[in-house]
Amino acid sequence: MSHIPIKNYSRLDKPGYTMWLKYGLTYLILLTLSFGQSIILAQYVDFLPVPPELIGKIAGFWALITAIFFFVTNRQKFHAYEKPMRKLSEAAKKVSKGDFSVYLEPAHNADKLDYIDVMFEDFNKMVEELGSIETLKNNFIAGISHKISMPLSVIRSHAPMLKKEELPPQLRDEYAETILATSENLTALVTNILKLNKLENQEILPITEPFDLCRQLCDCALIFEGAWEQKNIEFTADMDDRAMIRADESILEIVWHNLLSNALKFTEPGGKVCLSQTSEEDSIMVSFSDTGCGMDRQTMKHIFDKFYQGNTSRSGEGNGLGLALSLRAVELAGGTISVKSEPGKGSVFTVRLKTEQ
């Protein structure tokens, strides 16, 4: 969008000229009203010829009345409108320069707010939201920079070692495996970033079709069969034989994959992971519970934030985007997601979906 600056103003746009023009118009209106009153009185009172000096005094009187009227109304307008608008304009300029600490104090108490005060409150809410968005953007940039720089540094440090001819074969294989695993993590990170960006920008529009949710959950669980067997985790599933739902199957697949992956990742060998599904009259609930490390309240406040990882000891096993992706996918499916957890007692993630969308 192009902006065309306006540099040339007509005389009517100049404050001084405009003020005197308004004064003159007000004066003429009041004189006209006074003349109209004289015509009405002349029908009942026999006026003598009016001396010229009396006409001058009357004109001066109304000039004074106009000045008083003009002063009072402009003072009221200045305090009630122009002054607040100037404050709002100055605040908007600060916000446009990136200052999100701006706050406009309402002039009246909460029970006596006028439309200007309400405008100030709405402006403050807008600035607060913009500040939150700016913080999220900065955190996102910092997070993605950190997440990308780590695997790149690993690749850069290991790749030159493979060029050494005297490197033992076993060590060469270890370096190659490290580079391969790191490259796969980097690919997964970029893929998740692209998915999340498409979901947030609604570039992926849900295509709602009826499908069997229980079948999808079973297919997802079988994908991780090797993972729970490798860690000797007791995996149980409690589901209906069939549960039909109308939603986008591919979007919900993202949710089940991430929640089950997290449950297995944070559960120690020999622990338990349970997948349960229950049907109600107009909704279906899917829960993933584990006996892992659990989370405290502070961690649970941020688990759906991009790149946030509460358990830093497992940071190398993920990229902090899985739950952010899951939240957005559930929202697109018209559902809700909640979590219950205690440190050392595991976690339970519950997704509630409507059966009809």
Q: Give 302-323 pLDDT, tens digit per residue.
A: 787 766 555 544 544 544 667 8
More confident residue, 52 or 146: 52
Task: Give the contacts of 354 (CB within 8 A, at least 6 positions apart).
Answer: 282, 283, 334, 335
* Structural domain range at position 160: 144-200
DSSP reduced 3-state for 311: coil
Q: Give 4-21 pLDDT, tens digit per residue.
A: 444 444 444 455 667 778
Is a pLDDT exceeding 70 seen at residue 123?
A: yes
Mean pLDDT of 240-245: 89
Mean pLDDT of 89-114: 82
Whether the pTM exceeds 0.95: the reply is: no
**What is the count of structural domains for the chain?**
3
* CATH number of the domain residue 220 falls in: 3.30.565.10
3-state class percentages of the chain: helix first, strand second, coil last, to nearest 5: 60, 10, 25
How high is the pLDDT of residue 212? 92
More confident residue, 185 or 180: 180
Residues 220 and 260 in one domain: yes
121 belongs to a structural domain: no
Mean pLDDT of 180-198: 72
Cα atoms in the Cβ-side hemisphere of radius 13 Å centred on 195: 21
DSSP reduced 3-state for 246: strand
How high is the pLDDT of residue 58? 77
Q: Give 270-307 pLDDT, tens digit per residue.
A: 999 999 999 988 889 999 999 988 888 888 877 877 66
Percent of the chain past pLDDT 70, that is, above it, reads: 78
Is a pLDDT exceeding 60 seen at residue 93?
A: yes
Final residue in a domain of this structure, among 73, 99, 125: 99
Residues 228 and 345 in one domain: yes
Residue 150, Cβ density class (10 Å: 0-12 exposed, 13-18 middle, ≥19 buried):
middle
Is a pLDDT exceeding 80 seen at residue 187?
A: no
193 belongs to a structural domain: yes
